[in-house]
Structure 1
Amino acid sequence: MTLLNCKHSLIALASAALLAGCASNNPYENERNVNRTAVYGGIGAAAGAITGAAVSSKKDRTKGALIGAAVAGAAGAGYGYYVDRQEAELRRAMQGTGVEVQRDGDNLTLVMPGNVTFATDSATISGSFYGALNNLAQSFREYNQNTIDIVGHTDSTGAYQYNMDLSRRRAQSVASYLQGQGVDYSRMSVRGMGPDQPVASNADSYGRQQNRRVEINLRPMPGAYQ
């Protein structure tokens, strides 16, 4: 069997497995209290893994299987399954970078401290942070079923309007860099909140440092795996 035929066979097998799971009419299913999310998500993930591996190059076959599992599993179990996989990938990719990954339901937020992202009073991304942004861009390209809301924040030091402008310019710098790394700009929105949404007190240097940040909010696209 040729490699092409093998790929086609694997894809057909994956599709059949997914359809078989969704077509169950077992009259005793309710009595067994089967968790449909787990069952269909698992079937979808297995099918997606086969498909992802089949359509990937040899070098990327393992990663293709993982992404395929996330996408097909989400189709069977809902967007939450997809976010589970994306969250795990982001936590791995952001380890040791200073970026915090937060989750609230199906929403993910990446908190990038200003002290590691930008120099003081600057909207130019620090050279040491490019590696982290490259990893983010790769993840956003692979997991592309959510919108990317980029929000800049400052502390309350200085003129209010200046801080509003600086926060927006910083958010725009992040968006522009991600776009340059192949992330679809139509998924992104950019805002500057200045000092209006502090997460700590501005009365001391530690609190002000926490308030100087850029947040990236990942939200499901309308109709994504509902």
Structure 2
Amino acid sequence: MKTKTLIALAATLTFTAACTTTDPFTGQQQTSRTAIGAGAGALAGAGLGVLAGGDDRRNALIGAGIGALAGGAVGNYMDRQQAELAAQLQGTGVSVTRVGNNIILNMPSNVTFAVDQDQVIPAFFATLDSVALVLNRYNQTLIDVYGHTDSTGDESYNLGLSQRRAQSVANYLTGRGVNGQRMVVTGFGETRPVADNATEAGRAQNRRVEIQLVPLS
């Protein structure tokens, strides 16, 4: 119980951390209100995920011989991983956001999927190859893959679509050698918007797949 309390406290403190985002086209770092929303939304789900299943993943990976990070090594490890992801993903349309010691990759649906489809488009394969390359190099992280939609259409349909899209991304990464034991895949449908669904620009921001990387510590 003490361990779970500490994990929950860490997740709560993460909400208050500064959010920095690497612009997906220029490579410049900036603080973004949208990024803060995306990070908070992802972490809200992750907080429950850590309490419910995080220990199982950690135990499985540590049991498989993947060492856990501790102390100052955590921040340094995530710094290096963030830098490599930002370099690999510059110009792809995927943003790299840091929230505390977690990293969030935001993949807009317009560069990842065809309209109303759940299979990754071939033009995005090279981007996911770059993501897989870094994830395989930095294997001391847990991977949460989250699917999100806008509020257009039926809520239950959107939930299923978000789950299938997140699973497609996860399947592609495992096909490129990323250890599936590190992953949890969740579809949130339209429940975690980061922008106003009343505008087309807002809806476009809400249609996304996020990959959250959490240090194995």
TM-score by length of 1: 0.65
Counterpart residue type for residue 131 of structure 2: L
The one of 141, 144, 147 aligned to 2:139: 144
Query: Any conservation in 1 of the 2:78–2:215 contact (CA below 8 Å)?
Result: no
TM-score by length of 2: 0.67
Q: Return the alpha-carbon distance in structure 1 between the equivalents of residues 134 and 70 of structure 2.
A: 19
Q: Show CA shifts across 1:98-134 (max 9, x none).
A: 0000001111000000000000100010111000000
Does 2:66 correspond to 1:78?
no
Does 2:193 correspond to 1:193?
no
Match of 1:45 in 2: none
Against the structure 1 CA distance between its residues 77 and 192, is the aligned structure 2 distance closer, same or farther, given a 3 Å change threshold?
A: same
The one of 104, 108, 111 aligned to 2:103: 108
Match of 1:217 in 2: 212
Q: Return the alpha-carbon distance in structure 2 between the equivalents of residues 114 and 107 of structure 1.
A: 22
Give the structure with higher Rg (CA). Answer: 1
Q: Which has the higher contact order (CA 8 A, sep 6+)?
A: 2
| Unaligned residue ranges in structure 1 (runs of 5+) | 1-73
Does 2:157 correspond to 1:167?
no
Secondary structure of the residue aligned to 2:190 is coil
How is 1:18-167 mapped onto 2 (pairs within 5 angstroms)? 77-167=72-162
Q: Return the alpha-carbon distance in structure 1 between the equivalents of residues 135 and 80 of structure 2.
A: 12
Counterpart residue type for residue 105 of structure 2: L
Q: Show CA shifts across 1:149-184 (max 9, x none).
A: 000000000000000000000000000000000000
Q: Return the alpha-carbon distance in structure 1 between the equivalents of residues 172 and 90 of structure 2.
A: 20
Counterpart residue type for residue 169 of structure 1: R
| Unaligned residue ranges in structure 2 (runs of 5+) | 1-68
Q: Return the alpha-carbon distance in structure 1 between the equivalents of residues 140 and 164 of structure 2.
A: 26
Identity level (%): 54
Q: Return the alpha-carbon distance in structure 1 between the equivalents of residues 148 and 127 of structure 2.
A: 19
Deviation at 1:220, TM superposition (A): 1.3
Match of 2:174 in 1: 179
Q: Return the alpha-carbon distance in structure 2 between the equivalents of residues 90 and 177 of structure 1.
A: 17
Against the structure 1 CA distance between its residues 76 and 210, is the aligned structure 2 distance closer, same or farther, given a 3 Å change threshold?
A: closer
Deviation at 1:144, TM superposition (A): 0.6
Deviation at 1:77, TM superposition (A): 3.5
- Aligned-residue CA RMSD in angstroms? 1.7
